[in-house]
Amino acid sequence: EELEPTVCRLSRELYERAGIGPEDVDVAQIHDAFAPAEVIRMEAMGLAPEGEGARFTVEGRTGIGGSIPINTDGGLISRGHPMGATGLAQIIEILRQLRREAGQRQVQGTPRVGVCHNSGVGGVNMHAFTK
């Protein structure tokens, strides 16, 4: 919470409003314009215990076949970061995952809940999608 207090607060609010918890999330898109951002924010969102995000990633838990797939399209560092379009690209990826239309990037099982996190200068937004 120390590194991302706004993300922590917003995550709790998002989960409460959507009637879900972080344990219900099947797939996530996290704003990762910088290498450590995904790890820091997955912890802030409750998708990994505090201090465990890097281990989750190294162990493959955040990969397509993992327990909490994150940035299944490769994230911003891989896909690119077109200002203004980044959030829309994240939403499209989550919807493709929930509709099982993601091709080789498709997560295992039947994803029912996806979340998106995006941030920029002075703002953070998050969305939850359920099937």
Question: For the chain, how big is the Rg over CA atoms in Å?
Answer: 13
DSSP result, 3-14: S-HHHHHHHHHH
Count how many residues are written for the chain.
Answer: 131
Q: What is the pLDDT of residues 42-63, one digit of tens each?
A: 999 999 999 999 999 999 999 9
**Residue 123: per-residue pLDDT:** 77
**Residue 2: per-residue pLDDT:** 62
Cβ pair 69, 28 in contact under 8 A = yes
For residue 33, give Cα distances in angstroms to 21, 46, 61, 107.
Answer: 25, 20, 20, 22
Cβ pair 34, 74 in contact under 8 A = no
Q: Which amino acid is at 94?
A: I
pLDDT < 50 regions, the chain: none
**Residue 54: per-residue pLDDT:** 96
The count of structural domains within the chain is 1
**Residue 84: per-residue pLDDT:** 73
**Residue 1: per-residue pLDDT:** 54
Q: What is the CATH number of the domain that holds 37?
A: 3.40.47.10
Domain region containing 47? 5-130
